[in-house]
Amino acid sequence: MFEIVEKSEVFNVHKIVVKAPGIARAVRAGQFVIIMGAEYSERIPVTVSDWDAAAGTIVLYVLEVGISTLELARMKVGDSLFAVTGPLGVPSEIKNYGTVVLGGGCYGIGGIYPIAKACKEAGNKVISIIEARYKDMFYNEKALMEVSDKLLYATSDGSKGTKGKVEDVVYEMLEQGQKIDQAFFMGCTQMLERCSEATRSNSIPTKVALNSIMLDGTGMCGACRVSVGGQIKFACVDGPEFDGHEVDWNELHSRKAAYAEQETGVYQSYSHECMAEKKFKQELERG
Ligand SMILES: Cc1cc2nc3c(=O)[nH]c(=O)nc-3n(C[C@H](O)[C@H](O)[C@H](O)COP(=O)(O)OP(=O)(O)OC[C@H]3O[C@@H](n4cnc5c(N)ncnc54)[C@H](O)[C@@H]3O)c2cc1C
Ligand code: FES
């Protein structure tokens, strides 16, 4: 079950194609799965970035940030994930809005693809914006180009597109008088907050895919609790997409940082173990 049939990497973002026929048949744009690399691994939520119902496969893009994503990064074609649960979350609301802007950073470059594709199929003009530190860090560009009327870039060093981030491109578009009827953003929490600020002054309806800490993914544990418009919501069952202008960002930042010390400590010690293991293997090979 859940065999890895394809795997590749672009600068710490790992494309993992997994056999999961039931999920490939049922999943819709905006949904995610909760996966476990091995039996005693942590459960981690990952967006389903593409799927092939006939082949029974789903595509995940995993950004290596800590111990569980490192564990997934080390798995190879032919290995199997211990568990893949889903599809979870409410699918994106897709309709003919007019002009839709989708912004993606880090794993969101992969994650916005099915939403862009569905928006295009619904007759929208789709403008996708992706951000990275420098031009070689982009991935999934060809697929995004195929479903977008325009693909715009933002890089921190200015090596491709606008120098800056997704929200800088949004500000440029607004200055040029570009009409935007709906915005979707996916990426790190800081990016989601900044992009929501960019669309607020023009009252552009804005959905953000929140990445709060999740455990069970079924609304039972409360780990993913967020406040939206003064109401308590559970990102796993009420989201992950919410109105970016209504999210209590301070609360989300502080809840996400709750285990930062433990996460960093365990990642560093595991990384050192990996390095030591690699060195030991190299020495064995050298005899
Ligand atoms: C709905 C949803 C969809 C996501 N989609 C993707 C995706 O497509 N690709 C991708 O690379 N990442 C995605 N994430 C984020 C991913 O789940 C975390 O990066 C991952 O859990 C980190 O685990 P770690 O042990 O490697 O890192 P850690 O060192 O444990 O944590 C690093 C960061 O990840 C956050 N995090 C840790 N555990 C969880 C958890 N159980 N749930 C959510 N966040 C956590 C921490 O707050 C911290 O900011 C998504 C998160 C959510 C909620
Ligand atoms: S992850 Fe447990 S309630 Fe959402």
Is 264 found in the same domain as 252?
no
Angle between helices 249-256 and 189-200 (to 10 degrees): 170
CATH number of domain containing 161:
3.40.50.80
223 CA from centroid of ligand 1 (Å): 13
Residues 6+ apart with CB under 8 A from 67: 42, 263, 266, 267, 270
Q: Which residue from 60, 101, 31, 86 is spatially nearest to 241, judged by alpha carbons? A: 31
Q: Tell me if 216 CB under 6 Å of ligand 1.
A: no
Does the beta carbon of 46 sit less than 6 angstroms from any atom of ligand 2? no
Q: Tell me whether residue 73 is in a domain.
A: yes
Cα-trace Rg, the chain: 19
- The DSSP line for 212-251 is ---SSSSSSS-TTEEEETTEEEEHHHH-SEEETTTB-HHH
Number of domains present in the structure of the chain? 3
pLDDT for 223 equals 94
The last residue of one of the domains, among 65, 88, 111, is 88
Per-residue tens of pLDDT for the chain, all 287 residues: 899 999 999 989 999 999 999 999 999 999 999 999 999 899 999 999 999 999 999 999 999 998 899 999 999 999 999 999 999 999 999 999 999 999 999 999 999 999 999 999 999 999 999 999 999 999 999 999 999 999 999 999 999 999 999 999 999 999 999 999 999 999 999 999 999 999 998 999 999 999 999 999 999 999 999 999 999 999 999 999 999 999 999 999 988 877 766 666 666 666 666 656 656 566 666 66
Query: What's the pLDDT score for residue 271?
Result: 65
Neighbours of 190 (CB within 10 A): 12
- In the prediction, which pLDDT does 257 show? 79
Q: What is the pLDDT of residue 256?
A: 84
Residue in 15, 69, 71, 113 to alter for ligand 1 test, most ligand atoms within 8 A of Cβ: 69
Residue minimizing CA distance to atom 37 of ligand 1: 213
For residues 49 and 39, the answer to whether their CB atoms sit within 8 Å is no
25, 85, 114, 175, 192 from 178: Cα distances, Å: 37, 40, 24, 7, 20
Quick one: CA dihedral 220, 73, 56, 107, positive or negative? Answer: positive
Is 205 inside any structural domain? yes
56 and 42 inside one domain: yes
User: Do residues 276 and 251 share a domain?
Assistant: no
**pLDDT at residue 275, as a whole number:** 58
Domain that holds residue 150: 99-256
96 residue type, one letter: N
Tell me, yes or no, whether 27 and 166 share the same domain.
no
- Residue 28: what pLDDT? 98
Between helix 189-200 and helix 166-175 the angle, nearest 10°, is 10
